[in-house]
Amino acid sequence: MSSTVETMALSPSPTDGITCVRFSAGAEDNLLVSSWDCSVRVYDVPNNRLRLKMEIGNPVLAICYGSDKSEAFSGGLEGSIAQHNLDVPANAHPSIGSHTKPVSCIRYDASKGIVYSGSWDASVAAWDTKASTKTPVMRLPQAGKVYSMSMHDHHLVVGTSAKQVALYDVRRNSDTPVETRDSPLKYQIRCVEILPDGSGYVVTTTEGRVGLEYFDAAKKGYAFKCHRQKIDETDTLVYPVNSVAFHPIFGTFATGGCDGIVNMWDGENKKRICQLAKFSSSVASMAFNHDGSKVAVAASYTYEEGPKDQQEDTVYVRAVQEADVRPKKKE
């Protein structure tokens, strides 16, 4: 278990389920937060101050920063992808395009100024942020609803409700994936995230498992169990693994589950580094800041057990000690 370190709750909190947290790329440590309360917030983390709150008009499921800390994009239940100027508070949030069903994830390709949006309409769309029309540059059809998506350099990885992972090389400008793989795990995909070195990806499921796969088929991946609580000799509670975040310096990664637990892993050496103290609710989303000295954790019930009494929705920011994330030495 990790030692007790500084953890703060950002205030004021969103008033409904938190869906996504993303740190800005620079040292200012601004945190973008989306929520079912139809808002996008920007927190000044060092000063624990709500810098900006934008009312979007419908529940927001996905966010990302754009070309710099002043630009962001969001998507949600209504299917539209909105562009936000974070330096000029405004009531209007122009749409760059839309899907026919909710937008579940958004990623930004800085090299081309392209926004990729994944949707429950079984497609990923690519949008040119400078185009005057709201027509996608490309639409990538998927085998099922898009549940998660990750981007690193020219790699784009898409996890779907068909329990498949589609691998794209965005340099090809093709709507056909380089490869489509079945998930290495039996149950429904919750999250996919590309390794920092671009060699592969991590995939998580509803059934408390994590798989690490490599793009090079000759390199064997592996899977392991986590986010489980043993009740007795025969019964174990198994929790969905909702989120994965990679440490920007060491390349180790955190997993967050519906058990309210965050585990830190050394993927290369197949070891758990530490387990953080339990949070107040399910871990819905996580993000490390630019240098990995902080981790933001959205503690927010994700309805894995159906409706229940309202629980608080809180974004925690925890100081990260090097011992929490440094890879284990090989024995």
Q: Per-residue pLDDT tens for 262-271?
A: 999 999 999 9
The verdict on residue 92 lying in a domain is yes
The pLDDT-based confidence of 310 (bands split at 50, 70, 90) is low
Would you state the pLDDT for residue 281?
Answer: 93
The verdict on residue 131 lying in a domain is yes
Q: Name the token pair of 329.
A: 């030495």
The boundaries of the domain holding residue 294 are 7-324
In the chain, the number of structural domains is: 1
The verdict on residue 331 lying in a domain is no
The verdict on residue 90 lying in a domain is yes
Would you state the pLDDT for residue 2?
Answer: 44
Would you state the pLDDT for residue 1?
Answer: 42
Task: Let me know: does 66 contact 73? Beta carbons within 8 Å.
Answer: yes
Rounded CA gap, 231 and 186, in Å?
A: 23
Average pLDDT over residues 125-145: 94
The pLDDT-based confidence of 3 (bands split at 50, 70, 90) is very low
Percentage of the chain exceeding pLDDT 70: 97
Which CATH number do you get for residue 68?
2.130.10.10
Q: Per-residue pLDDT tens for 90-120?
A: 778 999 999 999 999 999 999 999 999 999 9
Question: What string of DSSP letters covers 102-122?
Answer: -EEEEEEETTTTEEEEEETTT
The pLDDT-based confidence of 5 (bands split at 50, 70, 90) is low
The verdict on residue 314 lying in a domain is yes
The verdict on residue 153 lying in a domain is yes
Q: Collect contacts of 325-328 with beta carbons under 8 A, ≥24 apart.
A: 325/247, 325/249, 325/250, 325/252, 325/264, 325/273, 325/292, 326/250, 326/252, 326/273, 327/250, 327/251, 327/252, 327/266, 327/268, 327/269, 327/273, 328/266, 328/269, 328/271, 328/273
Average pLDDT over residues 63-78: 96
Weakest mean pLDDT among 99-113, 217-231, 232-246, 306-320: 306-320
Is residue 242 over pLDDT 60?
Answer: yes
Taking the chain, what is the end-to-end CA distance rounded to the nearest angstrom? 20
Average pLDDT over the chain, rounded to whole?
93
Would you state the pLDDT for residue 331?
Answer: 55
Nearest by Cα to 283 from 309, 263, 308: 263
Task: Let me know: does 192 contact 213? Beta carbons within 8 Å.
Answer: no
The verdict on residue 329 lying in a domain is no
What are the C-alpha distances in Å from 218 to residues 109, 152, 187, 212, 267? Answer: 28, 21, 24, 14, 18
Rounded CA gap, 268 and 252, in Å?
A: 8
The verdict on residue 1 lying in a domain is no
Task: Let me know: does 325 contact 250? Beta carbons within 8 Å.
Answer: yes
Rounded CA gap, 64 and 75, in Å?
A: 9
Average pLDDT over residues 150-162: 97
Q: Per-residue pLDDT tens for 185-222?
A: 999 999 999 999 999 999 999 999 999 999 998 999 99
Cis peptide before 240 (omega within 30 of 0): no
β-sheet bridge partners, residue 241 = 257
Neighbour count for residue 323 (Cβ, 10 Å): 11
Torsion angle of C-alpha atoms 139, 140, 143, 149, degrees rounded to 10: -110
Sign of CA dihedral 179, 124, 104, 194: positive
